[in-house]
Amino acid sequence: MKNKVISTFPLKTVGLLSVTVENPDFSHSKPNGMITIGDKNYIFHNIVMGRGIQELDTFTVEYTEDNLLDKQVVF
């Protein structure tokens, strides 16, 4: 499954939630655009850029307490 959530990490001090997906496909992502995770909508903020050669598989959304694990992201 493309864009299946495999981990989340809260960034409460900046009001964001870091979301890592399996088999990422960001081809339809738009900064500050709406995305669907499971059956809820969230605002997509940005793709987290790492250092060196790393797969781009992590992005941020507004902070939420919702359980997003194992849900599919639709951009």
What would the pLDDT profile of 9-26 be if each residue is shown by its tens digit? 999 999 999 999 999 998
pLDDT at 55 over 80: no
Q: What is the pLDDT of residue 56?
A: 85
Q: What is the pLDDT of residue 50?
A: 66
Assign 74 a pLDDT band (cuts: 50, 70, 90): very high
pLDDT at 54 over 90: no
C-alpha neighbours within 13 Å on the C-beta side of residue 4: 6
AA letter at 41: N
56-74 in b/e burial notation, b at 16+ Cβ within 10 A? Answer: ebbbbbeeeeeebeebebe
Residues 6+ apart with CB under 8 A from 69: 5, 6, 7, 8
